[in-house]
Amino acid sequence: MSQLLVSLMLLLLSTHSSLALRICSFNVRSFGESKKANCNAMDVIVKVIKRCDIILLMEIKDSNNMICPTLMEKLNGNSRRSVTYNYVISSRLGRNTYKEQYAFLYKEKLVSVKKSYLYHDYQSGDADVFSREPFVVWFQSPYTAVKDFVIIPLHTTPETSVKEIDELVDVYLDVKRRWEAENFIFMGDFNAGCSYVPKKAWKNIRLRTDPMFIWLIKDQEDTTVKKSTNCAYDRIVLRGQEIVSSVVPGSNSIFDFQKAYRLTEEKALDVSDHFPVEFKLQSSRAFTNSKKSISSKKKKKASRT
């Protein structure tokens, strides 16, 4: 494909980005009773969620299981244009008394849950690698260029990040054995930066060394709120030709809610010490229109030669 056609494709896709599906990942840090009672923090969390069509929330620490029902009330209580959210949540995960949950919140009109399961971390000779096993969810949407995709979330323990990130390849293989899925999104707080994953450690991470896994959030990015840190802890990784080609160009980014909502660092840290990471998938209409436009341009160019 010529450089002209590549440039044209990127331009056409970007003009349809507003039709795209925004997928986000957010470590809300110690999301429990005290944060739920903080009205200012909750207002920001709800604003962040409303930006997204699917959002992964991590570090939910709520033994009463009231975080997601509370969020549903705030999201759907005054819902306009029939935009309602639903959610799917994991069991409480952790080796000892400390437990967390993964939750996916999503717009019901745009996507639905096809299947889900908690990864069984019991491989012979390599058991119990994950501090919090991935809660794997298979989504489907009639509105996106890629009609279904599996999201594999992960919140690592910092000291074992290298091993846990590497082990995501085994999770991928396990999902492939279970389901006829081709499109994969790995995302979450991988603690994949600074001292937790030094440069020399990347060669031991199959998720990085295998070129079929495409990393959308790069090593030089900063996903932390504190100005005193600069680390790419939170990541998004894709696998599958169809989903990689369906990404809206330039949509992979970090959402700086502190800047967007004009918060002081102190107020931002009341929400989380992590910024959300995100990207967009093209809508089926945008993708079809782009292909038609490019095909038309090709025909015109051919007729002139």
Active site residues: 100, 155
Q: For the chain, what's the residue count?
A: 305
CA–CA separation, 295 and 21 (whole Å): 24
Please name the residue ranges forming H helices in 196-283. 206-209, 241-245, 257-260, 265-271
Based on the number of CB atoms within 10 Å of its own CB, is 243 exposed (0-12), middle (13-18) or buried (19 or more)? Answer: buried
The dihedral of CA 82, 151, 58, 135: what is its sign?
A: positive
Closest CA to 89 of 99, 76, 78, 75: 99
23: phi > 0 → left, psi -120 to 50 → alpha, else beta; which? beta
Identify the three-state secondary structure at position 23: strand
d(CA 253, CA 216): 8
Q: Which residues pair with 61 in a beta bridge?
A: none
